[in-house]
Amino acid sequence: MRNYMVQCSALLLLTAVSVSCNRIEDVDPVVTPATTQAYLRLKADGVQWSATTKINTWGAERILLAGKGDGDYPVVSANVPYSGAAGTFDITSEKGSFFHYQDANGKLFQITSTRGSGSITVTQRDVVNGQVLLTGKFEGTAFTIDGKDSVKITEGEFYDDMLE
């Protein structure tokens, strides 16, 4: 009798699990958005900075980088011609191309076709839902508009795994 009760209990448990599993499949699943691993970060004169708000890091015909820290500053933005493949792209190569870094005080440093020097290297290119997402690194020396002050940008990195 005891074996019979154990067998019945096991059968009831198996049935309950089976029914529960089937019920879960019958209900619309809850879609949880994927967490992003995206980043935009750099060192400015050796001081580490990471964007807490990433606007985007993608491009089709242009490399577009943008992000900001907590509060109004620091802010990083760039717009550089892009060939559509992995490679290194000179920030100063074209009038209208730029890399901007505004420090924690809002002071603007720029690399343009006539000021500073630097490059952006695309190491990986992905296409997701028709959008080009880029991974890479960047570096350079940016100057204030009057040319009196500069900031050395090193260890710049970006990665985008989804559009935000």
* pLDDT tens digits along 91-123: 999 998 999 999 999 999 999 999 999 999 999
Which of residues 34 and 57 earns the better pLDDT score? 57
User: What is the average per-residue pLDDT within 139-154?
Assistant: 97
* pLDDT tens digits along 67-96: 988 888 899 999 999 888 899 999 999 998
* Distance (Å, whole) CA 119 – CA 138: 6
Asked if residue 131 has pLDDT above 60, the reply is yes
Residue 44 contacts residue 149 (beta carbons within 8 Å): no
Question: Residue-wise over 105-143: b if at least 16 C-beta within 10 A, else e?
Answer: eeeebbbbeebbebbbebeebeeeeeebbbbbbbbbebb
The dihedral of CA 61, 113, 90, 48: what is its sign?
negative
pLDDT value for 137:
96
**88 CB neighbour count, 10 Å cutoff:** 12
User: What is the average per-residue pLDDT within 129-145?
Assistant: 91
Residue 142 contacts residue 101 (beta carbons within 8 Å): yes
Parallel, antiparallel, or unpaired: how do β-strands 131-143 and 47-50 relate? unpaired
Asked if residue 25 has pLDDT above 80, the reply is no
pLDDT value for 21:
37
pLDDT value for 6:
33
User: What is the average per-residue pLDDT within 51-78?
Assistant: 81
pLDDT value for 163:
47
**37 CB neighbour count, 10 Å cutoff:** 9
Q: Which runs of consecutive H residues, i.e. helices, occur in the chain?
A: 2-26
* Distance (Å, whole) CA 142 – CA 148: 11
